[in-house]
A and B are shown apart, each in its own frame.
Chain A
């Protein structure tokens, strides 16, 4: 296999460390992108939050996303212990929670009382949109992980793909942990 021929022959543990470092560096890099949008929000609007922003919906969506991190963690742990059936179930649960979150974002957009052309609306729509696009990507990758798990490609000794997807999912959650107060709670 020519691809594998060019990958240096390392022990599986070292290969895993290499993959993890690459993914962590990617997260750091992405944090600069998200950080730029968060900084732009405070530069443009200060800490202003519109009074009629639907706080209940925001809190519910945040809770759903945080719970999805728990199911993602369960999925990875199950795969790591060889319990593929439970792992598959938890992947599906995570995907479902992610889809509910996306649906909530679309609801939020449709009921918002501000326009994208206003200062706060500019930040609100672009930040939630940027984040939602990452959630959608995460759902696609979880789908791939499900297909791998269903074909029995993951073993307790070798399941980097699963780990990587779940790390990405946690990262997208952490971004929301910063975006949520920046958009909802500063006012």
Chain B
């Protein structure tokens, strides 16, 4: 057998295609047998995809590594030791959490850039009133694709990518608790991407990322079914990944790594996983109900059959509000982590910050209906959800106070990750304050479905989570690649992105208050000036990713070699070489103190010579700014 045919991706594709053909052929045979020649065609787009895709998914998983790692053992053989070497590992089924982390980061960064290009087309369309580039259908397809891919990126890249790479290192573990499951979880991602792109090529779907019925039930485009199947699969990625993180943090900590000594990024991933492993099932349930309605003829969301479209909104937001904390809790942890390391101060009010994260987890499940104030749900639900939603500002405030207390009178090393961390604080504050107007029923009735919501959402998730993602990318780039990025290009990227971001989204608040609706391809010409300005700013914001991509690609190939600990940071991932050896630690480390012992000469996180922690570093290294 030629080597290429042994490659997991190739085998996965072959088995996947065969599985799909078996699925649709089986469906077709049953249809012809039971419905007869007049009863219907052998092919029914909704049904054939709904049956064919799961079979294809099973085939893909068998081909990509399921057979080697599980099947052979089930049927009496030995687990196949076949594993690729060098760069080829990244295209294979590898149980190494460091390989999987990079697989997630690269996959989702590519998806992020693709989705960003799509939204450039959307902004081009919105530069002036009337229809130029798109018609209403294609506009919906592009906007929906942007929505769901960016949500997927935001949910998965910090936890799946950097969490996978860094968390086991931070807690002194050799790997995740379930390494094989971890690999399987990542390999569920490519089918999601393939399905979403296929859906767009087949004409897309019209419901945005939220898939509200009755439109999701009634529209005839097959893209809706593909979207539902893709997102259910993606939910599985999120659930399995979260379970893995929870068990890893509970059972794989190094000796001495008590809960009070966990680095705050690990706490962020842990808190996000507590939400993701449970609530994600609700989204899967809602999308499955749509599939049942479409394919099996049930009436969950069909009012004439006794169902209710509002039911979907409850089920959907029961997950999708907590989902924003799945996005943002790892970002909180990451920002506090970077602020502490690069301010050379212990994390201020560590326990209160952890308490804030747990408080967010506790409240996340009881605020969902604030998305539904205009939906027509029962009036008596308005007041409790208003109050509960505003309560969220208390734990979030604790985290902000911890951040400000950490940089207060610190000796700030303002390099690229630090710039993004500070940018996060500003943007997320803007997003948080404008959120109050959307949590309050009277103002929300006015602002709902306007660009005010778009601006608020992007300030929290793009200004928050994506800025944190950029901070993480630069911060751990030397650890993950063993190479140093260009500080100058990184700073250029930050300033372009930060300024471009404000110029795009600040005016959206204004145009939203003035009544411009979101999710429409055309708008009254009175909004022309605003939108031209926003579109030009969006192109500038998009251009900021040129130095980003250039910097990281070139640095990865031929950047200067990175030291083990370029930031003189204290946590465990910096105490091993860059990139770390195959099993992370030559011997299991022992933890003897708090994670950020800066400015305390007698305190250590791990035993070792002074200098790892506590050494002044402001303006050192490649810094300055």
Contacts and interface: CB of A to CB of B under 8 A. Distances in A.
B311 A40 contact: yes
A116 B251 contact: no
A18 to B, nearest CB: 5
Given A22-B177, A36-B318, A116 B247 contact: no
A148 B280 CA distance: 33
B306 A3 contact: no
A151 B281 CA distance: 36
A3 B298 contact: no
A33, A116, A122, A125: most-surrounded residue (chain B CB, <10 A):
A122
B110 interface: no
B178 interface: yes
Contacts of B107: none
Contact of B179 (A6, A28, A120): A6
**DSSP majority for the B interface?**
helix
Given A8-B175, A125-B298, A43 B308 contact: yes
Contacts of B75: 147
A102 B151 CA distance: 38
Contacts of A144: 74
Contact of A36 (B81, B180, B285): B285
Contacts of B247: 18, 21-22, 25
B66 to A, nearest CB: 12
Contact of B305 (A9, A22, A40, A118): A118
A2 interface: yes
Interface string B164-193: 000000000111011111000000000000
B596 interface: no
Interface string A1-22: 1111111111000100110011
A37 to B, nearest CB: 6
A29 interface: yes
B4 interface: no
A40 B177 contact: no
Contacts of A158: none
A47 interface: no
Q: Residue among A9, A21, A45 with the most chain B CB within 10 A? A: A21
Nearest to A36: B285
A28 B281 CA distance: 10
B282 A29 contact: no
Contact of A28 (B277, B298, B583): B277
A178 interface: no
Given A3-B79, A36-B281, A44-B308, A122 B298 contact: yes
Contacts of B180: 3, 6
A121 interface: yes
Nearest to A48: B306
Contacts of B282: 32-33, 36
A62 B281 CA distance: 26
B246 interface: yes
Interface stretch (B289-297, B325-333, B473-481, B516-524): B289-297
Contacts of A118: 299, 305-306
Contacts of A3: 69, 79, 95, 179-180
B246 A116 contact: no
Interface in B211-263: 239, 243-244, 246-247, 250-252
A29 B277 contact: yes
A147 B78 CA distance: 15
Given A3-B79, A44-B300, A33 B285 contact: yes
Nearest to B279: A32
Contacts of A122: 292, 298-300, 305-307
A2 B281 contact: no
Contacts of B318: 36
B268 interface: no
Contacts of B177: 8, 18, 22
Contacts of A125: 296, 298
A107 interface: no
Interface string B61-73: 0000000010000
B306 A45 contact: yes
Interface string B257-289: 000000000000000000001111110111001
Contact of A29 (B74, B95, B239, B252): B239
Interface string A118-137: 11111001100000000000
Contacts of B300: 40, 44, 122, 126
A8 B95 contact: no
B278 A1 contact: no
B337 interface: no
B74 A147 contact: yes
A22 B244 CA distance: 7
B81 A117 contact: no
Contact of A44 (B175, B278, B292, B311): B311
Contacts of A43: 308, 311, 314
B46 interface: no
B236 to A, nearest CB: 10
Contacts of A18: 177-178, 247, 251
Interface string A89-128: 0000000000000000000000000011111111001100
Contacts of A117: 297-299, 302, 305
Contacts of A21: 246-247, 250-251
A21 B244 CA distance: 10
B76 interface: yes
A26 B239 CA distance: 8
A119 B307 CA distance: 6
A67 B76 CA distance: 31
Contacts of B314: 43
14 contacts: A2-B81, A3-B69, A18-B178, A18-B247, A32-B279, A32-B280, A36-B282, A37-B289, A116-B299, A117-B298, A119-B307, A121-B298, A126-B289, A126-B292
Given A32-B280, A44-B308, 16 more contacts: A6-B174, A6-B175, A8-B174, A14-B251, A18-B178, A22-B244, A28-B277, A32-B278, A32-B279, A36-B285, A116-B298, A117-B302, A126-B296, A147-B74, A147-B75, A148-B74
Closest 9 CB pairs of A and B: A119-B306, A36-B285, A32-B281, A33-B281, A6-B179, A122-B298, A6-B95, A25-B243, A8-B174
